[in-house]
Amino acid sequence: MDGQNNPIDNQVVVFTSSLGEPLEPYPPDTGDPYTGLTTVVNNEHGRLNKEVEFYFGECPAPGTAPPGTTTGIIMAQILGTGISNQVTIILRRYLN
């Protein structure tokens, strides 16, 4: 969305993550797992769905008081602009 809360189509969004890695989009819009193109998704303009895969070993094993916990931050920025956002994901591991 832009500053007036209007959807923005056809913008390249760059994703980075402190843990895990973005997955290849399907269908491939840009061919790069670290970028995506805003478009119409489920009749909503300016949308982009992205999946990030985290790995078992990225979260510490549980200690004496389970679970093992860590956080990952996923960042998204519209290419060529200063417009960005981030979300914090909490990972919890209950098994060794």
pLDDT (tens digit, 9 = 90+) per residue, 48-95?
889 999 999 999 999 888 899 999 999 999 999 988 999 999 999 998
pLDDT band at 6 (very low <50, low <70, confident <90, very high): confident
How far from chain centre, in Å, is Cα 75? 6
Rounded Cα distance, 14 and 35, in Å: 4
Please tell me the distance from the alpha carbon of residue 94 to that of residue 68, in angstroms, as a whole number. Answer: 6
Task: Report how many helices (DSSP H) and strands (DSSP E) the chain contains, helices first.
Answer: 0, 8
Give the model confidence (pLDDT) of 50-59 as tens digits: 999 999 999 9
